[in-house]
Amino acid sequence: MKARDIEIPPVFIPFLKMHGLGNDFVILDARGKEADSVFAHKADLSQKLGDRHFGVGCDQIIFLETSQAADVFMRIYNPDGSEAGACGNATRCVADLILTERKALSCTIETRSRTLACTRTDDGLIAVVMGAPKLAWQDIPLASPCDTLCDTLYVLPSEQGGGVAVNMGNPHCVFFVEDLDAVDIATHGPRMETDAIFPDRANIEYVQVIDRTHIRMRVWERGAGVTLACGSGACAAAVAAIRRGLTDRRMVVSMPGGDLILSWETDTDPVVMTGPVAYVFRGEWGAAFSWGASLSTDNKDY
């Protein structure tokens, strides 16, 4: 009997689809179910769910887990199966879920990198204290000692002063350019993400300064590619702009999916990110599969 002829009962996995400025997520509630077999292969499951043709499709897959230190633990996976340490837009989405669930105005979310405090503002937006940026080369991390404010090893057409390396719970490199729309992100982004200078790979941001309180940004996300927005990337871009003296300490960061408000009051303060969330739909993803077997490529609709 061929492997594809074996009948395996379908597994139906409830999920919630949300997005923050078009940066979209499949959210799975694994609280109290961490030991269930369906959640035992998160990397494989994330690759299947993240596929926009054979799965649900998203920029990141979010697993909600039980936390002893916060209201919830948020585990973040990319569609390529790699695990991420931070995602600002997903944090706002999860915060809105928890705040609604608990009928509260504030909550805490534990991630692999740090614990984040979140609040609902008077105008219904979600503010997240994203933590203090890490700026030392070994904390990014970089492969060798480097001036993280001006890495002149890598240049772009019309680039202004080299890349700025920042860690916001995950590694970023920010490039300031004169014309954001002229940058070939699909070519430059993946090259920079996987460059040897970044042992853990990196998110790559491209920024055009509009004025002292407004910047535009586009992003190549590690493990996801071009996305409409990136919360931790917006934080990194704001920190880089402030360190370069290009902006004030409070600004609007405009991305293709919309705007975020960023503030970094002093060099020792945490970065605060404020923005909206959106609910798309609830559903059940169903597929007959066997982890690691040839059947895992045979997708069926139910």
**Going by DSSP bridges, is the β-strand pair 115-120/83-84 parallel, antiparallel, or unpaired?**
unpaired
Tokens 């871009």 map to which residue? 237
Q: What is the DSSP letter of 142?
A: -
For residue 186, pLDDT over 70 is answered with yes
- What confidence tens digit (pLDDT) does each residue in 38-79 have? 888 899 999 999 999 989 999 999 999 999 999 999 999 999
Q: What is the pLDDT of residues 38-47, one digit of tens each?
A: 888 899 999 9
CA distance linking residue 287 with residue 302, whole number of Å: 7
Separation CA 301–CA 159 (nearest Å): 48
Q: If pLDDT is split at 50, 70 and 90, which confidence band does 295 have?
A: very low
The whole-angstrom separation of Cα 244 and Cα 246 is 5
Q: What is the mean pLDDT of the chain?
A: 89
Alpha helix (H) residue ranges in the chain: 42-50, 88-102, 185-193, 231-243
**Residue-wise pLDDT tens digits, 206-242:** 999 999 999 999 999 999 999 999 999 999 999 999 9
Q: How far apart are CA 16 and CA 39, in angstroms?
A: 16
Q: Does the annotation count 230 as an active-site position?
A: yes
At residue 292 the predicted structure's pLDDT band, cuts being 50, 70 and 90, is: very low
Q: Helix (H, G, I), strand (E, B), or coil: what is residue 35?
A: coil
Report the pLDDT averaged over residues 107-117. 96
Is-contact 201 171, C-beta < 8 A?
yes
Residues of the chain with CATH 3.10.310.10: 3-129+278-297, 137-269
- Residue 266 vs residues 118, 216, 252, 274: alpha-carbon distances, Å: 20, 22, 17, 17
Which one from 107, 173, 230, 235 is the annotated catalytic residue? 230
Give CA–CA dist 220/203, Å, rounded. 6
The distance of Cα 41 from the centroid of its chain, to the nearest Å, equals: 20
Considering just the CA atoms, what is the radius of gyration of the chain in Å?
A: 20
- Judge: domain 137-269, CATH 3.10.310.10: yes
* Reported confidence tier of residue 32, pLDDT bands at 50, 70, 90: very high
pLDDT (tens digit, 9 = 90+) per residue, 242-288? 999 999 999 999 999 999 999 999 999 999 999 999 999 999 988 65
pLDDT for the residue 302: 28
User: What is the C-alpha to C-alpha distance for residues 194 and 150, in angstroms, rounded to an integer?
Assistant: 19
- In the set 58, 87, 93, 118, the catalytic residue is 87
pLDDT at 109: 98
The residue-averaged pLDDT of 70-89 equals 96
Average pLDDT over residues 9-27: 92
CB 130 within 8 A of CB 235: yes
Is 118 labeled as catalytic in the residue annotation?
A: no
**Where does the pLDDT of residue 293 fall: very low under 50, low under 70, confident under 90, or very high at 90 and above?**
very low
- Which runs of E-coded beta strand occur in 141-257? 164-167, 171-176, 203-211, 214-221, 225-227, 250-255
Rounded CA separation 165/198 (Å): 10
| pTM for this entry | 0.87
Protein fold of 3-129+278-297 = Diaminopimelate Epimerase; Chain A, domain 1 (3.10.310)
How far apart CA 248 and CA 174 sit, in angstroms, is 17
CA distances 73 to 28, 245, 291, Å, are: 12, 36, 25
In angstroms, rounded to a whole number, what is the distance separating the alpha carbons of residues 140 and 172?
Answer: 8
